[in-house]
Amino acid sequence: GTGSSILSALQDLFWLSKSKVEKQLQIISVLQWVLTFLIMGIACTLILMYILCTDCWAIAALYLAWLVFDWNTPKKGGRRSQWVRNWAIWRYFRDYFPIRLVKTHNLLTTRNYIFGYHPHGIMGLGAFCNFSTEATGVSQKFPGIRPYLATLAGNFRMPILRDYLMSGGICPVNRDSIDYILSKNGSGNAIIIVVGGAAESLNCTPGKNSVTLKNRKGFVKLALRHGADLVPVYSFGENEVYKQVIFEEGSWGRWVQKKFQKHIGFAPCIFHGRGLFSSNTWGLLPYSKPITTVVGEPITIPKIDNPSQKEVDFYHSMYVDSLIKLFDKYKSKFGLPETDVLEVN
């Protein structure tokens, strides 16, 4: 009757409103992370300097004293917080795209691991969501394994930002930090290294499946020195969430990017996503495209204190073959044509 029709209409309106609220929460969660990625370090540094010049200078001085005392913590495994990793905001972040983590093999808690994450994308959104939060259930899928996402060491010189990053289990991608985690932190550790780094980010664009890997062998040498198993990881969709202006080799734009990469550690990319209020306008928000991160089969690595170049090359070749096989096995399942091939540069 009329009463049931009104009730049905009200229910439809309620669910519509709930859906809209959830979408806005997803947008806010992604926006805060993008702003954190782009400006939090600089903003916190400037704010701290400003506070030093005000009547509240003692607060800034106390923090700086703590910073000196705590300076080496990032190199010693950091200070992760399960509370921060389980924030509800990360579930909204996950659902915006959505992001999904796929496990293909079990990992032994008696071993340590180095995950090679590919491709970098513009911001490594899949790497962050899957391994620096619990939004996709990494601890449930790999029980007993502690993931550490490695990022630029310069980020840990920024006040406040360093503490925020450490709370998610993020560590500097340098030898001191990696050596400590793999040798003095017990077993069951997994360091996630975005192998292609800044160089790879310069070439990421929708529809392109390429990785910078041929001459990236340092992570293999580290694995051999510590006897840490190598695990290839490929994120389908990582390159789809932003559009980038690609400068040709030899152009002035590419020259500037490479100079930044060499001297500062990151490459300035000219990119855009969607606008805050409309997907038809340009902005900083990534496009809501699915990102599926597939964790492949671990490659057993022996412990060799001083591996020769021949040994490094051998296991690097095994890793490259394993990554290509992982890509080929899952590409059609996650939206790519069977004819697509992974380009290894």
**Poorest-pLDDT segment among 37-41, 226-230, 313-317, 326-330:** 37-41
What pLDDT is attached to residue 3? 55
Average pLDDT of the chain? 91
d(CA 331, CA 327): 6
Tokens 């607060």 sit on residue: 59
What pLDDT is attached to residue 259? 76
**Poorest-pLDDT segment among 133-142, 193-202, 227-236:** 193-202
245 vs 243 pLDDT, higher one: 243
Domain span at residue 320 reads 3-344
Tokens 């049931």 sit on residue: 4
What pLDDT is attached to residue 253? 77
3-state secondary structure at position 151: strand
Contact 163, 93 (CB under 8 A): no
Contact 130, 138 (CB under 8 A): yes
Peptide bond into 119 cis (omega under 30): yes
What pLDDT is attached to residue 8? 58
Terminal CA-to-CA distance of the chain, rounded, Å? 67
Q: Which of 274, 312, 313, 327 is nearest to 26 (CA)?
A: 274
- Domain count of the fold of the chain: 1
Identify residue 49 by its one-letter amino acid code: M
d(CA 2, CA 119): 56
What pLDDT is attached to residue 85? 98
Contact 258, 67 (CB under 8 A): no
**What pLDDT, in 10s, does the model give residues 260-315?**
777 666 667 778 899 988 888 899 999 999 999 999 999 999 999 999 999 999 99
Tokens at 132, concatenated? 């620096």
3-state secondary structure at position 299: strand
Cross-strand pairs, 271:
244
pLDDT at 13 over 70: no
What pLDDT is attached to residue 84? 97
pTM here is 0.90
d(CA 336, CA 325): 15
What pLDDT is attached to residue 56? 92
Contact 95, 135 (CB under 8 A): no
Peptide bond into 232 cis (omega under 30): no
Cross-strand pairs, 118:
234
Q: What percentage of the chain carries pLDDT values higher than 70?
A: 93
Q: Which residue intervals of the chain are DSSP H helices?
A: 2-35, 41-52, 57-69, 82-85, 88-96, 125-131, 138-141, 161-167, 175-183, 197-201, 218-226, 252-263, 309-330
Q: What is the DSSP string of 116-175?
A: EEE--TTT-HHHHHHHSSSTT-HHHHSTT-EEEEEE-GGGGGSTTHHHHHHHTTEEESSH
**What pLDDT, in 10s, does the model give residues 57-107?**
999 999 999 999 999 999 999 999 999 999 999 999 999 999 999 999 999
- C-beta neighbour count of 64 within 10 angstroms: 13
What pLDDT is attached to residue 202? 83
| Burial tier of 214 (Cβ tally within 10 Å: 0-12, 13-18, 19+) | exposed
